[in-house]
Structures are given as C-alpha cells and as structure tokens.
Amino acid sequence: MDTFVIGPSDEAVKELATTDLNMKKLINVVGELTVPMRPDYFKSLVRSIIGQQISVQAANAVFGRLEALVEGNMTPEAILHVPDDQFRAAGLSGRKIVYLRDLTANVYDNTLDFDRISELDNQSVIKQLTRIKGIGKWTAEMFLIFSLGRMNVLAVDDIGLQRGAKWLYNVDRSERRKILLDKKPVWEPHLTIASFYLWEVVHLGFDKTYLSIDDIT
C-alpha cells in the first residue's frame, strides 16, 4: 500500500472526533487525507537515515543519487557493493555511511528480520530498530506509522506534531509537548489518525497564522 486514505466518514475518525471537540473541528476542516506510505522496509529506513538533520529537498537529492548508484535496486545486497567514496560523492557524511553500513549488516544477517517485524508489538519494534546505529526512537516511530501502518502511535517529540497541537489547543510553546501527553489517553486507540490531522495543521500553514480553529470553522 503506497498511500493511506482516511476521512471524516471512516469509523475510526468518527470515534476520534467524539473524544475531543477541537480535534473534531480540525477533522471537519481538513476532510479526507491521502497519506504517502513506505511499504519497502529497507528503503524506508535508508531514507530516514539520509534525511537526518538536513532539509527535505537535500534529503531527496541525496536519496535520488543513491538510487542511481544502485540502479533503483535499493537492497542490502546492492548497498554492500557501493564503496565509501561513491557514498560520499552522493552526498552522504561519514557518520551516515557508518549508519547505512550498520543497517545493511543487521538486515543482511537477519539480526533485523523484516519477515517477522510486522508480527512484533510496537515497543518490540522500537527496541529492535534502536539497536541499530543512527536509528532513534523518533525514526522507529515513523517506521511504525509509515511502513508498518500501525494506527496507535504518537511521537510526542515530533516537532510537527508539537506545532500542530500548540496551534489547535492554543497553548504556549513550553506546553506543546505536554498537551500531546495529556491528549494521548483521550485519543487512544487512534493516535496515528490524530497525528495525521495534526501534521496537516503544519502542512496547511495554520500554525503560522493568527487564526484559531474557531476562526476557520
């Protein structure tokens, strides 16, 4: 599944809307969402490593050059045969080359078993992924959402979610992480859906205006 489509008519979204008035207003304003997914597990993690601490545009450029190096065949076997100087020429830092090598080694020897990972619970997936160099909790949470399609994940340290929550609930910057923690038990078991709608706040630029959710409903 390359995209995930969800909207106000879906039962899970309806259930989420009943738990939180502001979230209900946001859902009604945004409407249906089409979310790009990353069903290729290895490729997804490679992209996440490349994207660390650089802009989306730069990450896309580096990833594109890496795909060209492996002729579109983004597999552990292909990555193993790329020499470090070609990685550097594609725009990868020395640290990210180490991270890619570690990821590739873990997948290649089945320490990270993609055939079984979908059978694990969320915490077990996070534990397994964060053993790999360069993969932290946030990256593992994004993998849960966009690659495994888990529907009850809330990455409270994600800046986009924090910005969306700050705007939606009109809290101070210092409170934006706390509001996510406060809302977590309210939104369960639909944390991922709540996340999709909060990210859309940023995507649509609502958080950069003086408008509140009440101003646009």
Active site residue 113: no
Q: Which tokens in the block code for residue 31?
A: 């409407």
Helix (H) or strand (E) holding 7: none
Q: How many residues does the chain have?
A: 217
Catalytic one of 158, 182, 207, 215:
158
Please choose, from the candidates 148, 61, 63, the residue with its C-alpha nearest in 3D space to the C-alpha of residue 100. Answer: 63
Up-side HSE of residue 48: CA atoms within 13 Å toward CB? 28
Task: For residues 36 and 156, give the distance between their C-alpha atoms in angstroms, rounded to a whole number.
Answer: 21
Contacts of 61 (CB under 8 A, 6+ apart): 91
Positions marked active-site: 158
